[in-house]
Amino acid sequence: MPEFDYDLIVIGAGSGGVRAARLTAQLGKRVAVIEADKPGGTCVLRGCVPKKLMVNAADIPHEVAMAQGYGWDLKPGALNWDQLREDIQAETLRLSEIYKTNLQKAGAELIMGHGSLVDAHTVAVGDRTLTSQYILIATGSATREDLGFPGSEYAVTSDDMFTLPQIPKRALVLGAGFIALEFASVLNGFGCEVTVAVRRDEIFNTSFDLETRQTLRRAMEDRGVKFLLRAEIEKLQKTAAGLQASLTNAEDMTVDMVLAGFGRDPNTKGLNLDAVGVHTGQAGEIVVDPHSQTSVPHIYAIGDVTNRMNLTPVAIREGVAFVETVFKNRPTAFDYNDVPVAVYSLPNMAAVGLSEDWARQENHAVTIFKSSFKPMKTGFAGLGERTFIKLVVDAESDRVLGAHMVGPDAGEMIQLLGIAVKAGLTKAQFDATCALHPTAAEEWVTL
C-alpha cells in the first residue's frame, strides 16, 4: 500500500466533518481538516445557533405582554440591534474556537485554506499538495448565487441577516421554508412590517402536515405577519422610496429590504469534482450511496453537500456512520426515518414521523387524534395564542406514525416524542402513560 500523508483528509470543518475527524483521530489515525472560513460550519456561524438567538430576542415583546398579564408593570423597550448583533457574533466566534480546540485535543490537524481535489487520494490547498488514504467532503451548503429574477442584486440572503446595519421598517420575505419563516418571525418580533410571498398554495412543502402548516400560517398572521399566497417575485427595482417589488397575483409593493429566503444549495464550488470523476445530481449535490461513498472509491461525502436531509444532527450522524464504515469495518448507514425537525418560527412548529397525507399515500389506514387549546401560561395572561397538537396513528397496528405541533416549546416536546415514534410505540402506550399536570405536554397522553 502506498504511503500517504494522512489516513483521512476532511474538507470542511462544519458539524459533520468535525465529528468524523475527531472520531477518526481518536482511533489513532492521522487526520487533517481543511477549512476555508472558520470551524463551525453553517450551523454555528450563519445558521441554527445565531438564528435561534435572534428568535429568542424577537420573542421578548411577546414575553413582556405575558408578564403584564401576570401583574408585572413592564413596558416594551427599544431593541439595541447593534449590541445584539455584536453579542451574537461574539457567541459564534466562541463556539468556533471550541470546535477548533476539540479538533486539536483529538489530535487532528486544522489547515486553513480552500481544498480542491487533485485525484482520489490528493487534495490541493494553497501551495500545498496533501495525500490521504481517504477523503471526506463535508463542505455543507451556500446561499444561492443565481436568484433567478431581475434586480436580485438588491436582495439580501440569509447570510446577510446576521450583519444587517439596521433593522428595516418594511420587509418582503421571499420563500416559505425554514429560512424564510424563521427570519419573518424575527423581523416581525423586532418591529418590522413583514410580508411573506409564497409561490405555492401554502407555506412549506408536503413533508410537513398540511393542517399543521395552515395552523402555523394563521398563528403568524395573528402576530402581524402578512402572507401573499401564489405570489412569486418577477422583478426588483431600486427607487427613491425604497425597493419596488413586482409580484405575480399581487400589487407592486415598496419595502426597505427584500430577503431571498429560498434556501441554500450544495457547496461544491472549487472542489474540482468533475475532473476527478465525482458524480453530482440535478441540484449540484454530491451523489453518494447509503454509506456516503461517492462514485470515486476512497472519496466520501456527508452533510448538506449531499442534499439528503439537511439538518445538523443528521450530518453528525452521517459522520459517525462514515467512521464506523471506513475505519471500524462496521458498515453503517444512517436511518433517515422518524427524524425530529423543528421550525423556530414564532410560534414554533415541529414534527416527527409521517404527516397525515404521507401516511395515506403509503397506504396506511390512519386514525387522527388532535387538539387545539390555550396553554395555561398564555391563557391566564389573556393572550389568544393557541397550541395545536396532532397524532397520526395506524388504525390496524395502533402504532403512532407521526406527531405534529404548533406552539411554545414545540421543538423540546418533539425531541422527546421522537423517541416514542422511533421506538414504534402505540397509541395505547401513549394512553397508558400518566399525565403530568398541569403541563401542555400532558395533552399528548390525554388525546
Do 244 and 287 belong together in one domain? Answer: no
The reported pLDDT for the residue numbered 263 is: 74
Q: Which of 43, 46, 37, 29 is nearest to 11 (CA)?
A: 37
21-26, Cβ contacts within 8 angstroms, sequence gap of 24 or more: 21/103, 21/106, 21/108, 21/136, 22/102, 22/103, 22/106, 22/108, 23/106, 23/319, 23/320, 23/323, 24/108, 24/323, 24/327, 25/103, 25/106, 25/107, 25/108, 26/106, 26/107
Q: Is residue 333 part of a domain?
A: no
Domain boundary among 262, 292, 318: 262
Do 293 and 424 belong together in one domain? Answer: no
What's the pLDDT band for 210 if we cut at 50, 70, 90? very high
Do 275 and 134 belong together in one domain? Answer: yes
Do 373 and 416 belong together in one domain? Answer: yes
Q: Is residue 403 part of a domain?
A: yes
pLDDT digits (tens, 9 = 90+) for 329-349: 999 999 999 999 999 999 999
The reported pLDDT for the residue numbered 2 is: 66
Domain count, the chain: 3
Q: Is residue 112 part of a domain?
A: yes
Do 105 and 168 belong together in one domain? Answer: no
Q: Is residue 1 part of a domain?
A: no
Do 203 and 291 belong together in one domain? Answer: no
Q: Is residue 15 part of a domain?
A: yes
Mean of the per-residue pLDDT values for the chain? 96
Domain coverage including residue 167: 152-262
Do 44 and 178 belong together in one domain? Answer: no
User: What is the pLDDT averaged over residues 134-153?
Assistant: 94
The reply to whether 114 belongs to the active site is no
Q: Is residue 332 part of a domain?
A: no
Torsion of Cα atoms, 16 then 18 then 24 then 25, to 10°? 180
User: What is the pLDDT averaged over residues 40-69?
Assistant: 95
Query: What is the share, in percent, of the chain residues with pLDDT greater than 90?
Result: 96
Q: Is residue 334 part of a domain?
A: no
The reported pLDDT for the residue numbered 1 is: 53
Look up the CATH number of the domain holding residue 402: 3.30.390.30
Look up the CATH number of the domain holding residue 29: 3.50.50.60
**Residue 186 clears pLDDT 80, i.e. is over it:** yes
Do 127 and 158 belong together in one domain? Answer: no
pLDDT digits (tens, 9 = 90+) for 263-283: 789 999 999 999 999 999 999
Q: Which residue has the cell 397508558?
A: 432
Catalytic residue among 121, 291, 364, 437: 437
Do 12 and 120 belong together in one domain? Answer: yes
Do 291 and 383 belong together in one domain? Answer: no
Do 221 and 314 belong together in one domain? Answer: no
Q: Is residue 331 part of a domain?
A: no
Domain boundary among 262, 290, 311: 262
> What is the pTM assigned to this prediction?
0.95
The reported pLDDT for the residue numbered 76 is: 85
Domain boundary among 214, 237, 262: 262
User: What is the pLDDT averaged over residues 309-337?
Assistant: 97
What's the pLDDT band for 230 if we cut at 50, 70, 90? very high
Do 242 and 106 belong together in one domain? Answer: no
